[in-house]
Structure formats: structure tokens, C-alpha cells
Amino acid sequence: MIAALLLLCAAALLTAPHVLVRIERLRRSPRAALFVWQALSSSAVLCLLTAAPIAWLRPRPLPSVPEALVLVVATIASIGVLARLLINGHNVGRRIRAARDEHRQLVDLVGRHEGAHTRVLPSERLSAYCVPGAGSRLVITEAALTALPGDQLAAVVAHEEAHLRERHDLVLEFFTVLHTATPRPLRTDAALREVALLVEVLADRAAREDVGEVALGRAIVSLSEAAARTDLTPGVSAGTGAAATRIRLLVADDPAPWQTLVLYVICAAALVVPPTLVTVVVR
């Protein structure tokens, strides 16, 4: 039963996030690690989506009891996944874009315009962020502009520009959709946090190239101190302890070449193995 095999593959892949969040050394090769995350999740989704069509594709006049069982499970799984993905994809995308639009209008009104897409908010809190998507904005507060020395400011800007340039928001949106589409007992918040952290590390890498480890590290320290002082930011994103982790990763040893290679092999395997298994069984 191929469909049963696909369901097993999907079940195996669903455990992947629980394993991946534990392997901290993956953070040293954030790009490859994100590819692994994406490949494993896409593969799980594909297995689930194709299970029902394949189960129905080879109907026998009278399916045996186990076959009928697989047929039912596969159908429920495929339709369920399809529906949840479509609905959540639509909702998440709509909510995110509406929130960004509203926010962009707000910062355009209250912020000082520095060039086409930079806005300086008259706030006394140290903060910097970007609003990605069409009509992206780089937002920084007046307080951050005055308090941060030039090199730290350059680090912050380089970090945010990297987010915008490399469209990290799309990666996060992909995983947010998958996360919300996954039934609550099966998903783990740690997975989403880890992906968010990897995205930050990726932007840190780009900023590090521009300004160096020290300036970027100091910028993270400055903003951590400011955040700890106000402590207003709701619990979001890469999570507590993320700042220290990011600083440690600035000077962590580069990953061994084989590590990156292994990760890309895993990516390929995740996408190749399930279809291969299916073809082998068909013969």
C-alpha cells in the first residue's frame, strides 16, 4: 500500500521539528539549516497531499479491510491538510498584510522621512525594525538614532536591510502558515522560535560582513539593555535568550564543510526519498 507508506513518511517527517530544535550546531549554518527545515516540511506536506489521490488511483473492486482503512485515513489526511493549508494560508497572509499596511500608514504619518523608505519615530524607546513586503519600511526610533554610536547604527541598519533584501518575511510566513495549519497536539512552538532565530542569525551574518563582529555585538547588547529596561515588548519571536545566542554565534567557529554538505544532502533526500519509495513499491 503506497498510500500507507506515504502516511508513514509524513508521520516520520512530523517528528523532524522536534529533533531539529535540539541540534544547536545547525545554527552555525543558518542558510542550510533553513533549507533543511523547509525541505522536511514541504516533503511532509507533499506526502500527506498525495496519499489520498494515490490510494484512490489503484482501486480494486473489493478492497480488503486494511486497504479500506488506509483509504479512509489517507482521504481524511489529504483533504484535511489541503483545507487547513488553504484556509490558514489565506488567513495568515491577509492578517499579516493588513497589519503591515496599517502600520506603514502609521509610521509614514508620525515618522520623520529619511529617504524613500526609512522612518524615524519620535519615541524614547530604543527600537529598530522593518516592515517587509511591498512598500517596505525601515523604522528606527529617534532614541536609537541618538543613543547608538555610528558603527552600531550601521550594524542595525545592515541587519534590517538584509531582512528586506533576502525576503526573510517570506520564510517566516511559510512556517507560520504551516505552524497554524498543523493541529495543535502535533505542532511545537519551539520549532517556530527556532526558525525565527535562524532568520535573525542569517541577517546577523550579512550585517557582520559589513560592520564586523564587535559593532554588531555591541548593538545587540545596547538594544537588549534597552529592552530589559522597558520590558514592554510582548513575548514574541526568537525568544528569551536569543540575544545571547546571537552574540555567541557571531564568533562561533564556522561549520565544517561536511556539515553544510550533509544538510544539503538531507534536503535532497527529504524530497527524493518518498517518491522513490513509492516507485520502488509500485514495481
Residues of this chain, 98-137, that bind other proteins according to CB under 8 A: 99-100, 102-103, 105-111, 113, 116, 121-123, 125, 127-132, 135
C-alpha to C-alpha distance for 90 and 83, rounded to whole angstroms: 11
Which residue type sits at 59?
A: P
DSSP H or E run through 249 = helix 242-250
Q: Does 30 bind other proteins (CB under 8 A)?
A: no
Nearest approach in angstroms of CB 192 to other proteins is 6
Rule CB under 8 A: is residue 167 a binding residue for other proteins? no
| Interaction between residue 238 and other proteins (CB under 8 A) | yes
Q: Which of residues 50-109 bind other proteins (CB under 8 A)?
A: 92, 95-96, 99-100, 102-103, 105-109
C-alpha cell read off for 116: 524613500
7 neighbors 74 (Cβ within 8 angstroms): yes
Residues 251-280 interacting with other proteins (rule: CB under 8 A): 251
Residue among 96, 215, 226, 236 nearest 159 (CA): 215
CA 190 – CA 167 distance, rounded (Å): 22
Binding mask 130-149 toward other proteins (x if CB under 8 A, else -) reads xxx--x-----x--------
**In terms of CB distance, is 227 or 269 closer to other proteins?**
227
Return d(Cα 80, Cα 77) in angstroms, integer. Answer: 5
Compare residues 50 and 182 and give the one whose CB is closer to other proteins.
Answer: 182
What gap in Å lies between CA 179 and CA 192, rounded to an integer? 7
Q: Which of positions 182-211 make contact with other proteins (CB under 8 A)?
A: 192, 196, 199, 203, 208-211
